[in-house]
């Protein structure tokens, strides 16, 4: 059994002992609290490790105690106090909502997570992390739930998580739903920049031949970016080449026969392959 959740609890106890904002900030950096916390909670969401209720319950309680203490600790006018109020407080709040969702997952499983998600009086972040925990587990019978969030108009965070989760449902016409969602939201530039990498990453995993016309369209109408994971054209080129064996005409590379182009696409494909099962939570307050 991993001890990450217990290490996270020890780090939170160390923060509780900080008597000044400056000491709090030093401890935060020393224990690398954000990375430690999210890694520990990811393990609970995915069911990679089973800690039992005790470890997760302890973390949840320590986070609540820290949030209660922060207003008093941050009353001073120092830069460290300002940073605590501005950044650390919101990060701890997100971690607490995430820990509470993890505790529900430990105690009540999928049914408990759905109950929190469907409770419209619950904090948005609590509902989101319950949904994300379900996404990490992607149980077969929950596809209808995820599909309801693959439509315009729902909260972007839930839509993004559903778009990422669709990759685990190749037998549910998930690829077609993702293409429809992309087309329905492509004119909203902010939403497109958020959704596009998530949709195209899932389409890469689904590897559905029926998406070839859509991908060919992106070769000439998609956005370009120097980083492959944010470049619609590069993602489309990698997938089209997988289907046809060719680097087809596109707006990014004029010399399609250049060996360097193939090298770049090979490198991008390796990145996409490494991340095929990685989901990305967003910041919801």
Rounded mean pLDDT, 20-46? 91
223 in the same domain as 132: no
Q: Buried b vs exposed e over 178-195: b needs ≥16 C-beta within 10 Å?
A: bbebbeebbeeeebeebb
158 in the same domain as 107: no
pTM summary value: 0.90
121 in the same domain as 173: no
Residue 52: per-residue pLDDT: 61
The tens digit of pLDDT for each residue in 252-267 reads 998 988 889 999 999 9
The tens digit of pLDDT for each residue in 103-126 reads 998 889 899 999 999 999 999 999
247 in the same domain as 146: yes
Residue 249 belongs to domain spanning: 141-274
Rounded mean pLDDT, 187-209? 97
Looking at the 3D structure of the chain, how many domains does it have? 2
Tell me, yes or no, whether 284 lies in a domain: no
Least confident of 47-61, 98-112, 163-177, 211-225: 47-61
User: Given 115, 137, 159, which residue is the final one in a domain?
Assistant: 137
170 in the same domain as 122: no
């Amino acid at each position: 059994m991993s001890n990450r959740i217990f290490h996270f609890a020890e780090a939170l106890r160390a923060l509780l002992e900080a008597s000044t904002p400056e000491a709090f900030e030093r401890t935060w950096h020393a224990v690398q609290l954000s990375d430690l916390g999210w890694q520990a909670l990811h393990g609970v969401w995915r069911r990679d490790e089973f800690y039992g209720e005790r470890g997760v319950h302890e973390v949840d309680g320590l986070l609540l105690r820290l949030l209660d203490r922060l207003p008093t600790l941050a009353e001073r006018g120092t830069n460290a106090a300002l940073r605590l109020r501005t950044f650390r407080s919101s990060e701890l709040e997100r971690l607490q909502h995430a820990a509470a969702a993890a505790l529900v997952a430990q105690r009540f499983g999928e049914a408990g997570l759905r109950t929190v998600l469907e409770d419209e009086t619950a904090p948005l972040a609590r509902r989101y992390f319950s949904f994300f925990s379900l996404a990490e587990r992607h149980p077969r019978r929950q596809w209808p739930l995820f599909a309801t969030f693959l439509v315009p108009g729902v909260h972007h965070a839930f839509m993004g998580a559903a778009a990422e989760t669709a990759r685990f449902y190749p037998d549910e016409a998930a690829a077609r739903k993702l293409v429809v969602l992309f087309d329905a939201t492509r004119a909203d530039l902010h939403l497109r920049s958020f959704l596009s990498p998530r949709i195209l990453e899932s389409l890469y995993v689904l590897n559905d031949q029926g998406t070839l016309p859509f991908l060919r369209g992106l070769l000439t109408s998609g956005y370009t970016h120097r980083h492959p994971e944010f470049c619609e054209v590069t993602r489309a080129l990698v997938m089209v080449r997988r289907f046809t064996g060719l680097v087809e005409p596109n707006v990014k590379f004029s010399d399609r026969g250049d060996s360097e182009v193939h090298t770049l696409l090979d490198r991008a494909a390796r990145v996409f392959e490494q991340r095929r099962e990685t989901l990305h939570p967003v910041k919801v307050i």
